[in-house]
Structure 1
């Protein structure tokens, strides 16, 4: 896909005929001869009205397809943007083209969720804050927040707030932010004029969708040790020596692994966890923002963290939640988890048609029908034994009568032969 002058949206069909339980959009770029993958966004975070870089590959999906949406029009749009001088990172990423792949799961492709909330939970710009309690008594390992839109499409929640101020012009800020604790899952959405729960418009291609409200479905899983390939956890505070590269113990497989980067508030005992994102879309210079950006390849997970005083590792304030449960956190615990999806994802593989015909061709001599036709089944019932004995007796009697009928002829023929001799 290509930003600025490319086609947007692009429709990718899936064969499930049902709303997927999870969609993963992998955006692959090349930097200094190496390939890196960044995850897509469930919703755009801002439009193109602020004259600073913005971007990402946003997606929305329904029962038959996934729509991929990228910036289009102004030259400040990017498919991946790692935050420029506002972030510390391994490299300064600003890409206008990328290769994109979509992975889609059905609900029964995953283990049964340990927590589900799908009972008419709504969120809107008029009610921009919701707290949902769960009974897991621990922080779940993986959470999905699906935003069910009124036209049948679905978006997904996010864990960063790179735009937080109410712009006096026409800028739109959108998205559903969520944080996770040992007892609850909290939702925030933008609450000012021109803001939406979810939107895809104004600088995001040939599509204009804006939603003031939506229903939300939350699912949470507690993973087993067999599901976790690697987990690396370390403390981090803004200003510490930057740890931008997390080496992996074994090679990551983009087909069967999923990367989860969690940022946990370490200033209190039960601090909330927020997920890192695959891109940054900053607002005006000096506006406060928050969140961690990440990408990965087969050997490493790469992190980008805020480097300026108005940037925070976790930030919830301004237009988000209308001032309810604000957060400005710069001492955190970062966890990088590699999850195996090989036991849950429904993989589709191209098969050579000749191999398929050979696999489906069966010799008729090996069928159960043919084998049964040559095999007598044992029946232990007395009645069955009696019927068998009667049958054998009748057969023997008939055969005996036939033989007796011919005995006289055979005897006379034998005697006549002897007389002649």
Structure 2
């Protein structure tokens, strides 16, 4: 509510006003409103009530400075549509404040149309939504107009079409030639491990004259002989015992 005159001319007050009172004889100011999807309803104090005003500033609220009691104000109703659809508002404000209606016309768009051999991605169907088209794999677009917009219930048009990508014989030949080059390079870079010196050295035992090598070799031979002797010792004992028993019998 906007005060048009008095001490607070030009000031805007919230529509709820100051309707909290302790006694019915106290002065107050108020506009109470209710709304639906299609209507806004306002209520004001009856003109027969001498204590009811549209704007009341006084007592402890006005601090004795900007007192005002007024029944003539300018009322502004703001309608916000969170879906982005604009509203067409009509008002019928007669002196008794019996009716104040506001209607909103939907501007949602239908589901975006399909383009042959193309994919589509859209972020909604409300006013301001967008649809992005892209040709499927193997197809080429005829234009760069790949996006449409939802404007007041209709999608903007696009001349985009998707046709099969043309592949010439030269392109196929070039691809085959490149593949042959790659195979030749791979053959040139591939080395047979059996033809390397490392593989040859792994098959040959070379004499090492260093004392440490001789010592390690001797210890290894001794260990092998000891293991063999331990394995053969029971058989040797049995053979020796058999020979002794045979000689005694003779």
Question: Quick check: which one's strand share is greater?
Answer: 1
Normalising by structure 2, report the TM-score.
0.31
Normalising by structure 1, report the TM-score.
0.19
Where relative contact order (Cα < 8 A, 6+ residues apart) is larger, the structure is 1
